[in-house]
Amino acid sequence: MRLLLTRPHRDSERLATELIEHGVESVIAPLLTIEPVACPVPAFEGVQALVLTSANGAVAIATWPVPFHLPVMAVGAATAEAAREQGMTDVTTADGDVDSLAALIRNRLDPTAGRLVHVAGTAVVGDLAAMTVQDGFEIERIVAYDAVTAETLPRIARDALAGGLVDGAAFFSPRTAATFVRLVVDAGLQPAMRTVAAFCLSRAVDEALAGLAWTARHVADRPDRKSLIALISAAQGRR
């Protein structure tokens, strides 16, 4: 089986390496480009924890004077792994979505122990501050990067779809999924999707793909990379 990977290049390369172990080949065609945004570096005095909703947030703090022992609340396993790669030693992982991250904050942290610093992109899913303010938490959101969507379908993706060279495509966010649908329509490649299966991180991602006539759309049991890879591996095993 060969899959089209649409995540930013760094993330797609990692995913492709993991998929090889499951006998799955990849075509990397990023639909998002991560660009740093000039932002103030927060003072970490009085901060009880760092909140990360993307691995890109972990990469963004690489040059910040963040105390390595500062607790990190990460949205999922990939984000937690990226935080550890930056040297953070106290990392706790939620279940892959903003709802579970808010629950983790409520259960593990004390609103009287200091504010939280949320490193985020210009576009976020869910309002973490609003979900925790009623519990007394103060969250300072720092916009440190922008995920810029592609204006046209990358040529490698166009060629792969038009030539019937991929069996499926993997999607991790509703925004990427919606971008893919728009670009496929712009390229006039809707008929090519009838032989392509979609592998979705969540129901929200699945819903964003409804505008195309896929051969099938599959949703992971849990909204995390491990579950999505398991879903893809199971499909490969049925071939």
Q: Are residues 26 and 48 in the same domain?
A: no
| pLDDT exceeds cutoff 90 at 32 | yes
- pLDDT of 239 > 70? The answer is no
For the segment 108-136, the average pLDDT, to the nearest whole number, is 90
Summarised one tens digit per residue, pLDDT across range 132-173 is 888 999 999 999 999 999 999 999 999 999 999 999 999 998
CATH at 60:
3.40.50.10090
Residue 238 has pLDDT above 80, yes or no: no
Q: What is the pLDDT of residues 52-87, one digit of tens each?
A: 998 899 999 988 999 999 999 999 888 999 999 999
Domain count, the chain: 2
d(CA 95, CA 103): 10
Domain that holds residue 177: 2-31+150-237
Residues 81 and 96 grouped into a single domain = yes
Q: What is the 3-state secondary structure (H, E, C) of 90-152?
A: CEEECCCCHHHHHHHHHHHCCCCCCEEEEEEECCCCCCHHHHHHCCCCCEEEEEEEEEEECCC
Q: Is the pLDDT of residue 124 over 90?
A: no
